[in-house]
Structure 1
Amino acid sequence: EWVSVYTDGCCHDNGRGDPRAGIGVYWGPGNERNLAEKLYGRQTNNRAEIYAAHRAIEQAKEMNIQNLVIFTDSQFLISCITKWIQNWKKRGWKTTSGKAVINREELENLDSVMQGINVRWEHVKGHSGVEGNEMADQLANEGARK
């Protein structure tokens, strides 16, 4: 049996003067595990997306969930973890152009926390009325305002 969760990260003023990032994890209406947290460290949207998934997996493991479906509107996150990470590891965390992978530490941590749990990644279109995604987005924005 697979358990579903929606994750989202956001960064107000991403790439500009005073960015503020947050993460949202949405398990369902009224679920005590729903969370909105400020992202600490480097404030970027991609870091927030990665960390939101990381937190969801941590929570799932605490609940002894064995099979987790993560719904995210971040195609970047899905591609990082399902397509690119194996080659980055083989190349010493370098991109095909030889540059260092920007979010290496976050992705290594995500890869590590995924050990011992089955994770399936599902893309949902952002801001398209999917309730779980809309709620995760609200939580991420709440986290960024903290």
Structure 2
Amino acid sequence: MPVPVYIKGISIKDETAHAKGAYGIYWTDDTPKHFVEYVLFDTHDHRAQLHAAIRALELASERKVSDIILYTKLKYLTDVLADMETERLAQNGWKDKDAENGWKDKDGQLVENKDLLEKLHELKNNVHFIVLTPPKDMTRVQTMVHNLSTFFNKIIHH
């Protein structure tokens, strides 16, 4: 049975030299090691989202959890992860088109966040996942998101 994991990545001052990001990961009560993890670092929004997904997959792999549901409301992350998983399921042995193209886009430029996408590409071979939008009545997840925002604002403004 897939283990539900809720992730959130946020940033402020996005696209500036002073951008700061944070992410939260919430493993539900029905997992063996329920916890919330918050991390703060220099980054922008998309990278914060990717860091959250990477850490969730790393933790799943460390815990020998082979099947998870990643819940996120973040469109960029949903699109990236859903594309990876859809293609993996569609063809046995499929490799990401970005990886096959040397991590270059259709114009020959390196794809944005190549380093993090490579890490996701590596981790997706260890953990099966699907990406869904969380249900609206998830009080604990809403609390995690609120706490992440509060934590983030306190640190940033000091």
Alignment TM-score, normalising by the size of structure 1:
0.80
1:138 maps to what in 2?
Answer: 146
Q: Is the 8 A contact 1:21 1:48 kept in 2?
A: yes
Report the more deviating stretch, 101-110 or 91-100: 91-100
1:8 maps to what in 2?
Answer: 8
1:73 maps to what in 2?
Answer: 73
1:20 matches 2:20? yes
Deviations 1:45-95 (A, max 9, x none): 100100101111111222221210000112212222332782212222112
Report the more deviating stretch, 64-73 or 113-122: 113-122
**Which residues of structure 1 form unaligned runs of 5+?**
none
2:126 maps to what in 1?
Answer: 116
Q: Does the residue aligned with 2:65 lie in a helix, a strand or coil?
A: coil
Deviation at 1:16, TM superposition (A): 3.0
1:98 maps to what in 2?
Answer: 108
Relative contact order higher in (CA < 8 Å, ≥ 6 apart): 1
Q: Is the 8 A contact 2:103 2:114 kept in 1?
A: yes
1:83 matches 2:83? yes
CA–CA separation in structure 2 for the residues paired with 1:2 and 1:117: 10
2:88 maps to what in 1?
Answer: none
Q: Is the 8 A contact 1:94 1:100 kept in 2?
A: yes
**Which residues of structure 2 form unaligned runs of 5+?**
85-94
CA RMSD of the aligned region, Å?
2.6
Alignment TM-score, normalising by the size of structure 2:
0.75
- How many residues of Structure 1 are paired with residues of Structure 2 in the alignment? 141
Deviation at 1:24, TM superposition (A): 0.5
1:39 maps to what in 2?
Answer: 41
Report the more deviating stretch, 64-73 or 130-139: 130-139
Pick the structure with greater CA Rg: 2
4+ long deviations beyond 6 Å: none
Deviation at 1:129, TM superposition (A): 6.2
Deviation at 1:135, TM superposition (A): 3.8
Q: Is the 8 A contact 2:69 2:131 kept in 1?
A: yes
